[in-house]
Amino acid sequence: MERKITKTVIIGGVKVGGGESVKIQSMCTCKTSDTVRCSAQINALANAGCDIVRVSVLDEDDAAAIKILKASCSVPLVADIHFSHKLAVAAIESGCDKVRINPGNIGGENQIKIVADCIKAHKIPVRVGANTGSLEKSFADRYGKSAQALVESAMQNVRIFEKNGVGDIVVAVKSSNVQLTYEAYTRLSQICGYPLHIGVTEAGTRQNAIVKSGAALGALLLNGIGDTLRISITGDPVEEVYAAKQLLRAVGLDKNFAEVISCPTCGRCRWNVMSLAAKVNERVKDVKKPLKIAVMGCVVNGPGEAEDCDLGIAGSKEYCVLFRKGEIIKRVSAENAEEEFFKELNGILNE
């Protein structure tokens, strides 16, 4: 897959765009001014692998809290602001690393200019875009709630900041509809050179959100589109980070992990693949180097799949076979298989 190369934008030291690794984002669910809870949540997100955290700024207390949060957290913070240019300025002066703003709802041209000047003075980027939930009436009337409407609205917001001399921009076109998301970002990537923040908005509760985001963002990433992403889940935001990591690994954009392939088992399977697969997944979940491990129920695809695996196991009627890089290294009885497999696996992990 060839990635679309966009402009590199730096968010609190973290590079987004320009072919850099795709950065994972999430958002705090607690009130930003509740700095004790908020800082705990930001650090939990960072520990889970979140690269950039967004917080909402509703009032002056929230804006002031950013300074405190920055002191207790090491991950870049993005301030999400609606309806007030004063809060945008306050959040920037408080030290946020990026602002997410909708120029259509923070007042008129003068207010936008004030925010733009503040952004330039503090050398931070801005995220703009469009969302089917807050699409301007003019675009909705002209194009319907379509991919074109989202793209035109987003690009108008880009031009407003460009006109005010802001050049570090991240762009998003959000919808809760998977097809619309895929179509809008595909169009946007053809005409926009800024890094794209991809996501399906209001994707719902966990599994539904993972399926929706997996389909839309997976399709985009497989076509080289997307510089930073959020998998939006109604639930604990740490789950968003886990799912985002899994997606980047699934599409080949993060290779530093232990991939466990395991068959779904069928009537051919005579030993407990599910139990071993679950244990192997648990054992390797924190591994940060590229490894491939296969847990296969039978010999139909087992040895073939195990060929390029660092370690593989395939069962048959009487015994299981352990493989390393296509070579059979051991035949073991089904009852000893798990112990022998973990002996080999631990050896590989300690190499």
Residues in 173-212 that interact with a second copy by CB under 8 A: 176-179, 182, 201-205, 207-208, 210-212
Q: Which stretch binds a second copy (CB under 8 A): 13-21, 90-98, 303-311, 327-335?
A: 303-311
Q: Does 22 bind a second copy (CB under 8 A)?
A: no
Q: Which of residues 65-124 bind a second copy (CB under 8 A)?
A: 80, 82
- Distance between CA 284 and CA 290 in Å, rounded? 11
Identify the helix (H) or strand (E) that includes residue 169: strand 169-174
Neighbour tally for 28: CB within 10 Å: 23
* Under 8 Å between Cβ of 135 and 150: yes
- Is the Cβ of residue 9 or residue 276 nearer to a second copy in the bound state? 276
Residue closer to a second copy by CB (options 44, 261) is 261
Beta bridge pairs of residue 23: 228
- Of 181, 292, 189, 254, give the one whose Cα is nearest residue 24: 254
| Span near a second copy by CB under 8 A; candidates 5-13, 30-38, 87-95, 335-343 | 30-38
Cα dihedral 174, 231, 227, 292 sign: negative
Q: Which residue's CB is nearer to a second copy, number 165 or number 326? A: 326
Q: Applying CB under 8 A, which of residues 5, 68, 269, 349 lies at the interface with a second copy? A: 269
Residues 82, 91: contact at Cβ < 8 Å?
no
**319-324 and 311-315 beta bridge pairing:** antiparallel
Footprint (CB under 8 A) of a second copy, residues 48-67? 54-58, 62
- Interface pattern 118-147 for a second copy (x via CB under 8 A): -------------xxxxx---------x--
Q: Interface with a second copy includes 168 (CB under 8 A)?
A: no
Residue partners of 36: CB distance under 8 A and separation at least 6: none
| Count of residues that bind a second copy according to CB under 8 A | 84
Per CB under 8 A, 31 contacts a second copy: yes
